[in-house]
Chains A and B, each alone.
Chain A
Amino acid sequence: MAIPNILNTGKSGMIASKIAIATTGHNITNANTEGFSRQRVQTTTADTGASFENNVIGGGTRLSRVERVNDEYIEKQLRIGQKDLSHYEEKDLVLKQVEDIFNEMNGDGLNRLVSRFFNEFRKLSEESENPAVRQSVREATQAMVNDFHRIRNEVNEVVRHVDSRIEGYTKEANATIGDIAELNRKINVLEVAGGSPNDLLDKRDLALKKLGSLFDISMHRDKNGNFNVDLVGGGPLISSGEVDKLTVERTPANSDGKPDNSFDIKTTGKVPGVITHQVKGGRLGALVEVRDKAISTVLSRLDDLAFSMTQSVNAIHQQGITAGGLTHISYFKPLEEKQRAAEFIGLSDDIQASANNIATAMIANAPGDNRIAIAISKLQNERLMDQGNATVDEWYNSIVSDVGVAAQRNRFALNQQRDIMTQLGKVRDQISGVSIDEETTNLLQYQHAFDASAKVIQVADDMLKTVLALKRD
C-alpha cells in the first residue's frame, strides 16, 4: 500500500465531485428548458484497489455514468396527449371561425333574411298591385342572395386559411423530420462510442413530441439499431437514415370531400403518393378533418338550400303571368347543378331588369290575382329539403346547430385534454423536473465532498513529507 495511491484516491474523489457539481450546474441552468430531464451522476468504486496482507483496500471512486431521470412510459403518454391536445386546439380554432360565420345570436343572418324573403311574398300576396311592395320583394331577395354569397365567401376564406396552415405545418414537419434524422446520426455516433447522450435523447424526445403533435407517428428500432419513424398509414418518414418529406399540391375536388383547388398532402418517398386522408390526428389531421368533413358538409348543405330555393321558386314563378302579360319567367337565375349553388344563386335577368316582371297572378289581366305570390310564400312551410323531411328553415337551423354541436363537442374534449395534460405534466415534473432546492442541497453535498477529497490529498502529502523527513535526522 503506497502513499501515492492515497493521492490518487483523493484525486478520483475530487474529479467525481467536480463532475457531479458540473452536472448539478447543468440541471440548475436547464431548470426551465422544455423537455429537459434532470441528470444524475452515478459513481462506483474504482477497480484499482491495492491489497495488503490479503485485505483489499479500496482505490477511490470512479464515474460510472451520467444518466437522465426519465420514464419512457410517461414520455409516450405525453407525446400522445400532446398530439390530442394539438388536434383539439387546431380544430377549435377553425370551428370557431366557422361558427362565427353562422352566428346570428346577436344580429342578422341568413335565417332572418330567408324569413324576410318569404314574408315579402306574403306582403305581396296582400297587395299584389302595389309596385312599391314589388320593389321591396326584390330588395329582400337580393339581401338574402347576398347573404348566401357572404357565407359562401367567408367559408371559402376559412378553407384558404386552413390550407395555408396545412402548408405551414408540412414545412414544420419536414424541418422536424430533418432534425430527428440529424439527432439520430449524432446519437448513433455517441452510443457506438459507449456514452449516454442524455441531452440529445431529450432533444429527440422533444422533436418527436413536436412531430407527433402534427399527426400520428409510430417509432421502432430495426435490427440494425436504426431509429425509424413512420407516419401511421402513410409510410416511412425516417427509415435507416433515409428521409422522406411531405409536400402539398393544389388539386381538384374529390369524393372524400376535399374542396376544389385546395391542398392535397403528398410524400416524396420511394412510393410517392397522396396521403391527405391517411394523415390522422394532431394538427394536420385536425385541419384535414375539419376542411374535408365539417366545412364540406356545411357547404354542400348550404348549396342544397340555395339550389332547392332556386328550383322551387322558379317552378312556381314560371307558371305565373306578370302584369305585362309575360309568362315562363324565372325568378332566380336558373342553376344547372347543386355544386356551388350558394355561390351562383342570384336574381334572374328579367327580375333584375324590372320588379314588374315579378309574377303574382295565374290568369292574365287580373292584378288582384295573388295565387303565385301565395304559393311562393307557402314554400316556407313545405318540406323541400332532405328528401322531403325538412323545411328550408329547419334545414338552415340544423346547419347552425350542427356547427354549434361540433364546436361544443370539440371544446369539451379540448378542456378535458388540457386537464389530462396538466396532470401528465405534473407527473413528468415529479420524475424528471429540476428542483432548485434539491440541486442546491446536492451542490453543497458535492462541494463538501470535493473539499474532503482535497483534504485526503493534503493528508497524503503530509504523510509523504513525514516519510521524506525521516532520513534527515
Chain B
Amino acid sequence: MRVTENTNYGIVRDSIRRSRERMQDLQLQSSTLKKLNTPSDDPIGAAKILEMRTDKFNNNQFQMNSKMAEGFLDNTDHAISDLTELVLRAKEIALNQSSAASSNEDTRQGVAEEAGQLFKQAVMIANRRVGDRYLFGGYKTQSPPVDPEGQYLGDEGEMMVEIGSDVFISMNIPGVDVFNTHPKNLENLENLESLDEAPSDNANLPENVNLFDELQNFRIALLTGSLEGIRSTLERFDQIYDKMVATRAKIGSRIQGLQSTTQAIDRHNLTNASLNSALEDADMAQVVSDLGKEETVFRSSLASSKRLIQPTLLDFLK
C-alpha cells in the first residue's frame, strides 16, 4: 500500500475533528445538564417531552381549578350549615309554641319577632358571597339570588369546572336546590301536564317545601296564634333540615372527589417528572466519565499525530 504524507495528514485531521465533535457534544450536555437539546437528538422523545409539558401545564391549571372549586364548595357548605342551625332553632321554638300549655299570646308575639329575625338572617345567609360572587345564584353570580321577600331570583346554572383532563365537577349548588325540598316539582308543574303520564303522577308527587315560605308561614301562624299552623310547620322544618343535610353530604362527596382527583394528578405529575427526566436529563456521571474518556482519546490522537507526521527523506539528505 502506498502511504503518502497527505494520507497521514488526512488521518490526523480526521481523528482530531471527530474527537473534538464528540467532546463538544458532551460539553453541551454537561453545561445544559440535558442530553436532549434539539429535537433531532431524539425526535420521538422530544414529542413526548412536549406532550408531558402540556400535561404538566394543564395539571397545574386543574389543581388551581380544584382549589378554587373547593373554596367555593367549602363556603357553600358553611352557609348551608348556618342555614341548618337556623332551621333547627326555628324548629325548636316551633316545638315550644306548639302546645297550648307552653304558648300564650305574649310569648307568641315575642317569638314571632324572633321568627322574623330568623327569616332576615336566612335571606342574609342565602345572599352570602365569596369575593364578588354570590354562592347560591346559579349562573347569576353578580346579583343577590334572594330578594327581601324570600323570592329566588337566581337560576339553576351549575358552574362546571375541569379538575382533571375531561373530569368536570360542579362548583356550586344553585339556591333553588337548597331552599326547596322538591324544586323539580315546583318548576315542572305546568310542563308536566303536557307529558302523558304526568296527570296521574301529579297527585303522588311529594309537596315542595320552601325555606323562606315556611319561615313566613311560621311567623304568620305565631302572629295569628294558630297552634295548628305552628304544628304543621314542625314536620316541614324537618323536611327542610333533611334536605339540607343531604345537600351537605353531596358537597362533602364532591370535595372528596376533588381531593382524590388532585391526588391522582399529583401522582401523575410525579410519574411524568421521572419519565421526563429519563428522556431529557443527561446522566451526569456518564457524561463526566465519557468526557474524561474522550479527553484521553483526544490526547492520544494528538500524541500519535506527532508520530504520524514523520520527517521525510529530505531531512536525511542534507
Residues of A within 8 A of B (CB): 31-32, 95, 99-100, 102-106, 111-112, 114-116, 118-119, 122-123, 125-129, 361, 363, 365-371, 374, 377-378, 380-381, 393-394, 396-398, 400-408, 411, 422, 425-426, 429-431, 433-438, 440-441, 444
Contacts and interface: CB of A to CB of B under 8 A. Distances in A.
18 contacts: A99-B40, A106-B32, A112-B57, A115-B54, A116-B57, A126-B64, A126-B65, A367-B141, A369-B139, A371-B160, A397-B50, A407-B39, A407-B40, A434-B4, A436-B314, A438-B2, A440-B312, A440-B313
A401 to B, nearest CB: 4
Contacts, number: 188
Contacts of A129: 132-133, 141-142
B316 to A, nearest CB: 9
A102 B159 contact: no
A94 B246 CA distance: 67
A292 B281 CA distance: 35
B249 to A, nearest CB: 24
B317 interface: yes
B10 interface: yes
A174 B10 CA distance: 31
Given A429-B6, A431-B2, A111 B50 contact: yes
A374 B58 contact: no
Interface in B148-163: 155, 157, 159-162
Query: Which residue, B50, B140, B142, B161, has most C-beta atoms of chain A within 10 A?
Result: B50
Given A31-B5, A433-B7, A404 B46 contact: yes
Contacts of A411: 40
B313 A119 contact: no
A-B pairs, top 10 by smallest CB distance, nearest first, are A404-B39, A404-B43, A366-B139, A368-B141, A407-B40, A401-B47, A433-B4, A369-B139, A408-B40, A119-B61
B38 interface: yes
Contacts of B280: 105
B312 A437 contact: yes
Interface in B45-65: 46-47, 49-51, 53-54, 57-58, 60-62, 64-65
A104 B161 contact: no
Nearest to B142: A367
Given A127-B68, A401-B46, 14 more contacts: A99-B38, A105-B39, A111-B50, A115-B57, A125-B160, A129-B141, A368-B138, A368-B140, A368-B142, A368-B159, A369-B157, A401-B44, A405-B40, A429-B7
A370 to B, nearest CB: 6
B237 to A, nearest CB: 30
B312 A436 contact: yes
Interface of B: 1-7, 10, 14, 32, 34, 36-44, 46-47, 49-51, 53-54, 57-58, 60-62, 64-65, 68-69, 132-133, 137-142, 155, 157, 159-162, 165-166, 168, 171-172, 280, 312-314, 317
B51 A408 contact: no
Contacts of A430: 1-4, 7
Contacts of B168: 374
Contacts of B44: 401
A426 B7 contact: yes
A72 to B, nearest CB: 18
Contacts of A393: 50-51, 54
A56 B205 CA distance: 142
A371 to B, nearest CB: 8
B161 A125 contact: yes
B83 to A, nearest CB: 21
B39 A126 contact: no
Query: Which residue, A116, A401, A407, has most C-beta atoms of chain B within 10 A?
Result: A401
Contact of B160 (A112, A374, A396): A374
Contacts of A425: 10
A123 B138 CA distance: 18
A127 B133 CA distance: 9
B142 A435 contact: no
B309 to A, nearest CB: 12
Contacts of B54: 111-112, 114-115, 393
Contact of B53 (A111, A123, A371): A111
Contacts of B51: 393-394, 397
B40 A429 contact: no
A95 B39 CA distance: 11
Contacts of A408: 40-41, 43
B312 A32 contact: no
Query: Which residue, B10, B60, B133, B159, has most C-beta atoms of chain A within 10 A?
Result: B159
